[in-house]
A = this chain, B = another copy of it.
């Protein structure tokens, strides 16, 4: 049995940055908005979880609606993941995903999956993912069955994040992003290349 604390995507709570606590607020907001109905989420609850004052949350991110929009925004992650020519996009996506997970101690996409376990109000987060990730990828793909192929590519990306989070002390944790891409990226590339 492990220690009961995951570093990705819900890390053991670190001390808030002495300067700002910005990262702690974002992590707390992600947990709150993916796990609870929107109506039940409060700035005060997020602040308590992050170990900062409610006014600091508002100072950094604005009010609840603005904070939700920040948390639900997959646009920057998608832009970075998709920023490569089609011929090498599969490998670029895998290497970028693994690198970002390790740098941020958080997965850039996986939070959308947590929202599936919540029966209420999580459709906003899902809709945002679909627009910013799946539809954006569909628009990039040539050939037939673009929507299906984009959904399956999104599946490969979400699955990579899921398995690295689940086996956080496993073989994937010791592998380089490049080696993971050697094993995992051909799946994505063949869906990209399929005519």
Residues of A within 8 A of B (CB): 1-6, 9-10, 12-13, 31, 34-35, 110-114, 116-124, 126-127, 129-130, 134, 145, 147-149, 151-152, 154-160, 162-167, 170-172, 175, 180, 183-184, 186-187, 190-191, 194
Contacts and interface: CB of A to CB of B under 8 A. Distances in A.
Given A2-B123, A129-B166, A155-B164, 4 more contacts: A1-B123, A10-B118, A151-B170, A158-B166
A180 B152 contact: yes
A9 B116 contact: yes
Number of copies of chain A assembled together? 2
B149 A116 contact: no
A113 B31 CA distance: 14
B163 A158 contact: yes
A113 B149 CA distance: 23
Contacts of A164: 151, 155
A118 to B, nearest CB: 7
Contacts of A5: 119
Given A114-B117, A118-B10, A170-B134, A148 B2 contact: no
Contacts of A183: 145, 148-149, 152, 191, 194
A172 B148 contact: yes
27 contacts: A2-B123, A2-B126, A4-B120, A4-B121, A10-B119, A12-B119, A31-B119, A34-B117, A110-B113, A116-B162, A116-B165, A126-B166, A134-B170, A145-B183, A148-B170, A148-B171, A148-B172, A152-B184, A154-B163, A155-B160, A155-B184, A156-B159, A156-B187, A158-B159, A158-B163, A159-B162, A187-B187
